[in-house]
C-alpha cells in the first residue's frame, strides 16, 4: 500500500468515525452551528462551558449538563 493509499484509508476511517459520533443536537456553548472550525473555536467553547460551572456545599464543581445527567440518570 502506498502512502497515498494509506492517507485515503485513514481519511475514510476518520470520516466514518465523525459521522458515527456526530451529536444529535447543537452544542450548547458553540458560537455557531455545525462542527468546530479549529482548535481556537474548541478552546473558546470550553471556556464558555467552564464559566457556567457551579458548586455547592458538599457538591463538586459541575457543569449544567453534568448535573442534569446525574439527576436524570437511572440509578
DSSP state for residue 31 in the 8-state scheme = S
Tens-digit pLDDT profile for residues 48-69: 988 888 888 887 888 887 878 8
H or E segment to which residue 55 belongs: strand 54-56
**CA–CA distance, 16 with 3 (Å, rounded to integer):** 20
Tens-digit pLDDT profile for residues 8-46: 899 999 989 888 877 677 788 888 888 788 999 999 999
34 phi/psi in degrees, rounded to 5: 90, -175
H or E segment to which residue 44 belongs: helix 39-51
Amino acid at each position: 500500500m502506498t502512502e497515498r493509499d494509506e492517507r485515503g484509508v485513514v481519511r475514510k476511517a476518520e470520516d466514518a468515525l465523525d459521522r458515527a459520533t456526530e451529536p444529535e443536537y447543537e452544542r450548547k456553548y458553540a458560537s455557531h452551528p455545525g462542527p468546530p472550525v479549529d482548535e481556537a473555536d474548541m478552546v473558546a467553547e470550553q471556556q464558555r462551558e467552564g464559566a457556567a460551572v457551579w458548586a455547592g456545599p458538599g457538591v463538586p464543581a459541575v457543569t449544567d449538563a453534568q448535573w442534569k445527567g446525574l439527576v436524570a440518570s437511572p440509578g
